[in-house]
Structure 1
């Protein structure tokens, strides 16, 4: 993580003007990359910036239901919107769907300190396209500026670039005043989430997406929901785009891009691991230091700095809710990750549960918790015993492999046939 310190009194600008950059204490630059195990995600950066904040605001061009939940329902962020305040402005020009609006409206009603407005403008030839947040605390504040939107892919999966800029109290006050001036100027465009015109625009977005999907051949005859009376306005350049270009655009437009954040490749790493008995708290699964650091990507000895995101796949293949987990590393040399799928389950008296994890991105995991009563348990048990016949001192068996190898050896895992 490169540290850049900026403090310029005067920089020559256009002969007669000067650009003055002051009040910046520190700036860190990051590239989010799903293949970079030591990387840092926009999601983690926003949560870090919100720690200790008393108020803030942010504007994002696109938002999805999953992205909103991922950030706004995290325990760290909820402290801000419970005890302080945060004003979120979201765009609706192209992608934001009715489902996403419903989600942010639900969160707005849940947290007293959260304000959400939709930027619904009528300026032709102009997109609402910002992606930034600012946070004010007792000593100054933090800006998070980058390319990522408020979607699951934008927050964790896409290749994005962003900066964290720490500023002093005078600078954050200037930023807040500047923000408020911009809000005042655009007050007529700031609509409530449940405004009729906003809902209408979200539904039009869905129709456009459906038409684009049809044009690219991505919908079957029973999936098309486009209103034939709705005419999509496109310029000549858009009309000349190839089918492949349309398909690429669509993959970014559809609300289901949150699900695309959980697509995995055959080369992605996988872990098959016995889960030890920890009495009534065995859902706090312990792992070896090597596995904790090299598979899960959470440095031992560092608590709370990194966020792991997991989704369970049930025995019937149902994709579970998002589980946001702090990395936990304690002095007793236990390196733990909480597994929501184990909540309320008694630890089996015969045979150990086995967790099967697929790393889809840096610190993002799909997992199956296989219990001895599951029909696919013996398949996993035999595979793990074949790879690691014996251990010393009753140690847990843990084996890191690839998705391809796992698919060959354990073809009946529900993770191969996920439904929602």
Structure 2
């Protein structure tokens, strides 16, 4: 057995997993938490990629008690589709509020032998480590892990234990499909989390007693959004259940990149009640209309204000592929306050006028709408794990 400490800024765990996959005939992994960056790095490793390209089976289990968000699940689903029949993936889902699914290990068969990598690192960039620390990037975690090479009866017993656990969890119903509705709900909730880190104030005097330090808040793995996380936009009158968002909102905010892309959306009512999470496709039709299917619009009357102001969609980007939204009709008590973020109604251009839009922060939205539904906004925490 080999025991290894990983320092921030290194990829020792990722390298060890890839080395264990050399000449493997099959393998698998179980990780408490996963991120899109960690999944991408894992399957980009030469020996793991070689396994899949040679049609050698790999099964992956990830938990959703924290961290694992919609972006991770959707990306993992795309990898499963890419390696159909070779790569399988399940989500460990339970309903024990005082317990956390927390294992992290991977295994690889080599004939009658087994290599096992067991440790503290999750399937995230920080857990796996980073080979270089880019400016402003989070440099990874301190982790520890062991590598075991097992032969004969020891290898047989280890694989029997893993197979027995997998079979038992399937029978118990804790291993769920990636598109299970409960899994989507948990992933959406995880996407709300923003992990705060205390950062020093450059060339500033020490904080007086009791004063707050500067706080940098970012989603897991140091993701940075290309726009502020809140979109406020007028919606023109369209077909039932469609929101015409325009090019900038659909591309810069929702992430449309020129081809169909699945995302998760979830409606939050003005009285703070979330509806079920819905998977939808981002696409542009042949008429070049940048529209989004938002079913909740269909149940509302499309009223116009006296100044030609229009119904508003307010969307929050939780991660790069999950969004919560609400609709504010012009007749709603909140409308006038929220519309301050958009400025004056522009004049008509022929038979229509440009729809107003703004990309703002949660703080900006709360400043004009103190009663904004809590479930629409992200949450901040000082630690990435429960």
Structure 2 length normalisation: TM-score? 0.47
Higher relative contact order structure (alpha carbons within 8 Å, sequence separation ≥ 6): 2
Normalised to the residue count of structure 1, the TM-score between the two structures is 0.44
